[in-house]
Amino acid sequence: MEEVKGQFVDLVYEAKLVDNLRERAMLLWHADNDPILRACIIRKCKEDPKYFFDTFLYTVKNSIFFSDLMPTNIPFKLFDYQEEMVDTLWYAITRQRNVFIEKSRQMSVTWVVLGLYLYGFLFHNHRYLIISRTANEVDHRGDMKSCFERLRYMISLLPNWILPE
């Protein structure tokens, strides 16, 4: 990692994100014209939440970690610790277990949890309750700190064919 204007930028990771964007664009281009491919993609998503994250979800660029060259909407490419978190949380959700997540700031834990809730809703007909300290932290239009605004953001960048009717 190199330091740029007080930021810590991992240029190798940014290059992987750019490659991921290209792969996503090609997959979507092919899927738009191929209903069989779309069905296969939906099945793969249903089987693997990490595939759903790495192929379809986006997050907002954190300017502390990414250079000015990266777009605002960046692919949600899971880090190793986030992959482990997805596995742990999905196991807990599907078996109705409690789980404790030790975290620090800037680990995207809220984004991972919300992405997993979206995954459960889209592919497994799950329903969830979202609570926080204040109502604005749960839902405040236009504020990306609110959970429902993050969910609206993630949904807005999904292809229409992956959404329920």
The model carries a pTM of 0.85
Query: Beta-strand (E) ranges in 14-165?
Result: 58-60, 73-75
The boundaries of the domain holding residue 9 are 2-162
Q: What distances in angstroms separate CA 95 from CA 71, 91, 92, 98, one per listed residue?
A: 38, 6, 5, 9
Q: How many structural domains comprise the chain?
A: 1
Task: Spell out the residues 6+ positions from residue 119 whose beta carbon is closer than 8 angstroms to its own.
Answer: 45, 49, 52, 53
Q: Is residue 8 scored above 60 in pLDDT? A: no
pLDDT in tens, 35-94: 999 999 999 999 999 999 999 999 887 666 676 777 778 888 888 888 999 999 999 999
Q: Indicate the DSSP class of residue 143.
A: -
| pLDDT value of position 6 | 46
For residue 75, the cross-strand partners are 58
**Residue 112 in tokens:** 């991972």
